[in-house]
Amino acid sequence: MNPRLHAVRLGLRRGLIEFRHQMTSTQDVFFTVMTTASFVVVLYLQRDATLPGTDLPLAAATLPGMLGMLVPVTSMVGAVGMLSVEREDGTLLRAKAMPQGMVGYLVSRVTSLSLSTVVSVIVMIVAGLFLVDGLTGTGAGGWLTVAWLTLLGLLSSLPLGAIVGSLAANPQAAAGLSMLTVGGLTAVSGIFYPISALAGWMQGVAQIFPLYWLGLGMRSALLPDGAAAAEIGGSWRPVETTLVLVAWAVVGLLAAPPILRRMARRESGSAMQTRRDRAMQRIG
Amino acid sequence: METVRELPDGLDRVNTAAIEVRGLKMSYGTKEVLRDVGFTVAAGEVIALLGPNGAGKTTTIEIMEGFRAPSAGHVRVLGVEPIRGDERWRARLGVVLQSWRDHGRWRVRELLHHLGRYYEPYAPQSRSPFDADELIAAVGLTEQGEQRVRQLSGGQRRRLDVAIGIVGRPEVLFLDEPTAGFDPQARRDFHDLVHRLSDLDDTTILLTTHDLDEAEKLADRILILAGGRIVADGSPDRLSREFSRDAQVRWSQGGEHFVHATDDATGFVRRLFEQHGEEVGDLEVRRATLEDTYMAIVKREEA
C-alpha cells in the first residue's frame, strides 16, 4: 500500500463525506439557494429585454457571464473561507498531526469545493434552460466547452483561494480580502455589461484576470456565433482564452504548494490559541 | 542513554530512549522561554510535565511534536529530530492538543474510523490501528457514536480528542492538559484509559496538567518546568522527600487541638509522648503533599 496514494484515496472519500455534510446542512444549502436565487431573479427580470441592437434576449447574454463568475467565486471564496476557518478550529493542525494528513486534507478540499462548484453550475444551467430562450438549442460542443471551462476555472481559482486563505491573518480578513478581489474583478470583467463599453485601461486590466476570460468562453459556448461581434476584436478568441486560463492555473499550482507548506509549518496549538484569543477580544 | 548493539548481520542498531532532550533553548524575539531544558523518557514511561502558566510547557511539547523549531538544543523523539520527522515517524506519535473544535459535522464513529485509516499503511501487524467501536467504548462514548461531534459536551469532546490521539496506537503519546473540563467520573475513566495504554500497549506518555493529584496518580515520574529549566525530576514520592521534609503533626491534649510543623516528625512525636504520654490523643502526622512540594519548588524558583 503506497501511503501517499492511500491518503489521496482517503482525501477523495473525505471530500465526498464533507460534500454530503454540506448538502445536508441547512445553513449551506440556504446560502447556495440564496446565491442561485439572486442570479435567477436577474435572469427573470431580463426576460423581455433584448441585447441593444440585436434581437438576442438579454438574459441569454447574462447567463454565460454568471456561469463564468460562479466558477471562480464559488471555488475561490470557498477555498479562502475553508482554509482560514479550518486553521482556526484546528482541522489543519489535526491533518498535520496525522501521517500524510495534509495530502488527505488538500485532496478532500479540492474534491468538496469542486463538487459544490459543479453543483452550483448545474443548478444555474437548469434554471437557465427554463428562463432563457435559445439555451435549449445549445449543441453538445457548447456544453463540452462549458464543462472544459468549468474545469479550467477550478484549476485557476482553487490555488488562488488557497494562497489568499494562507496569507490572511484570520477568517474576517480572509472574507474581506476575497470579497474585495472578487468584487473588483467582477466590476471590470464585462460580465454584467459589455466590456467594450469600458474605458481602454479597464479593458486591459480585465483581460489580465481569469474572470473576463471565463465569461467570454461561456458566451462563446452558449451564444450564437454572430454575438461575437460585440466582443473585443469581434472574436471569441478561444486560443487566448485557453492560454490565459492555463497560465493562471500553472502559476497558481506552482505558487500554492510552497505557500501552503509555509503556512502549515507555522501552525501550532499555541498559534491557534493566540488567534482564538484575539477573536474573543474582537467579540467581547 | 544510548546503547549501541552489534547485530549479527553487522548493522548497528541504536537503542534510544523514547524521548531525549538536552540543552533545549527557545526564545520568542528577545523573550527567553526555555533556557536549558533537559530530560530523558524511557520507552513505556508515563511522565507528567508540571509548571506554572507561561513556564513553557506547551512550547516544550510542541517542539517534541515537531510543530515548532527550537532555537537550540538536542531533541530526539523515537530517535528522530522532530522538526525533520517524516510521515513514518509521525505515524508512531499521538497528539492531543489543548483545544480543538474541528470536524463538528462528522459523526463520532465515522470520524474515528476515517482518521484511523491514515495509519493503515504504517501499522505493523502487532500495532494495527484501533477499531473505531473498540476505541469509542474505551473512552466511554458508546452512546454518542452516532452523534455529531459538535453536539458533544465539553468532556465528551475532550475524550474524543484523546480517542483521535490514540487511534493509530501510538508509541509515544503527547497530552496537553487532557482533563481540563472533565467531571470527576470522566477524569477517573480517563485515568483508567491512560493506565491501560501504558500497561497493555507500553505507550510512552507525556502529559501536562495543572492537577497535581492527577500527576501523582498517573505519572511514574514528574518533571517540573520553571524559569525555563527543569527544576525537579523524579517520582512523586521522591520529590516530596527531596524537596520538603516538612510534615504537620496534629494532636489533642486536655480538650485542646494543636498543630505543629516540623522537619523531623518522628523525633517530635517521640518527645511528645515522652513529655505527655497518655494525655496525647487524635494524633495525626501528615507528610507534605505533592502540592506542598510543588508550591515550595516553584516559589523557590520564582524568588
Give yes or no: residues B163 and B298 share one domain. Answer: no
Q: Domain boundary residue among B210, B234, B258? A: B234
Q: Are B112 and B135 in contact (CB under 8 A)?
A: yes
Q: Are B37 and B73 in contact (CB under 8 A)?
A: yes
**Rounded CA gap, B52 and B212, in Å?**
12
Q: Cβ separation of B103 and A2 shorter than 8 Å?
A: no
Strands of the sheet with B229-234, listed across from one edge = B72-77, B19-28, B31-41, B229-234, B221-226, B46-50, B204-208, B172-176, B93-96
Q: What is the pLDDT of residue B16?
A: 60
What is the domain count for chain B? 2
In DSSP terms, which residues pair with B96 in a beta bridge? B175
Q: Cβ separation of A17 and B101 shorter than 8 Å?
A: no
Count of beta carbons in the 10 Å neighbourhood of residue A237: 19
**Rounded CA gap, B77 and B194, in Å?**
20
Mean pLDDT in residue range A177-181 = 82
Q: Are A162 and A110 in contact (CB under 8 A)?
A: no
Mean pLDDT in residue range B75-84 = 95
Q: Cβ separation of B97 and A90 shorter than 8 Å?
A: yes
Give yes or no: residues B74 and B145 share one domain. Answer: yes
Give yes or no: residues B207 and B67 share one domain. Answer: yes
DSSP for B75-94, written as a single string: EEETTB-GGG--HHHHTTEE
Give yes or no: residues B187 and B289 share one domain. Answer: no
Q: Domain boundary residue among B193, B213, B234? A: B234
Give yes or no: residues B247 and B265 share one domain. Answer: yes
Tell me the pLDDT tens digit for each residue of B184-243.
Answer: 887 888 898 899 888 888 899 999 988 888 999 999 999 999 989 999 999 988 887 776
Give yes or no: residues B95 and B204 share one domain. Answer: yes
The CATH number covering residue B20 comes to: 3.40.50.300
pLDDT band at B112 (very low <50, low <70, confident <90, very high): very high
Chain A's closest residue to B119, CA to CA, is A99
The residues near A90 (Cβ < 8 Å, ≥ 6 apart) are: A272, B97, B99, B100, B101, B102
Mean pLDDT in residue range B21-47 = 93
Which of B34, B80, B105 has the highest number of chain A CBs within 10 A, making it the mutation to test binding with A?
B105
Q: Which residues of A touch B57 (CB under 8 A)?
A: none
**Rounded CA gap, A212 and B245, in Å?**
79
Q: Apex CA B36: angle with CA B31 and CA B37, to 5°?
A: 110
For residue A89, give the nearest of B98, B102, B110 by CB distance.
Answer: B102
Mean pLDDT in residue range B92-98 = 91
Count of beta carbons in the 10 Å neighbourhood of residue B12: 8
User: What is the pairing mode between strands B19-28 and B31-41?
Assistant: antiparallel
A vs B, Cβ pairs < 8 A, gives 89
What is the b/e burial string over B151-160, where b = at least 16 CB atoms within 10 angstroms of the residue's CB?
ebeebbbbbb
Tell me the pLDDT tens digit for each residue of B120-159.
Answer: 999 876 677 888 998 998 888 999 999 999 999 888 898 8
In DSSP terms, which residues pair with B14 in a beta bridge? B4
pLDDT at B48 over 90: yes
- Owning domain of residue B252: 240-302
Give yes or no: residues B229 and B257 share one domain. Answer: no
Placement of cell 486591459 in the chain: A204
**Rounded CA gap, B20 and B82, in Å?**
11
Q: Apex CA B142: angle with CA B136 and CA B147, to 5°?
A: 95
Q: What is the pLDDT of residue A174?
A: 83
Mean pLDDT in residue range A82-92 = 88
Q: Domain boundary residue among B179, B212, B234? A: B234
**Rounded CA gap, B149 and B97, in Å?**
17
**Rounded CA gap, B198 and B166, in Å?**
12
Give yes or no: residues B228 and B246 share one domain. Answer: no
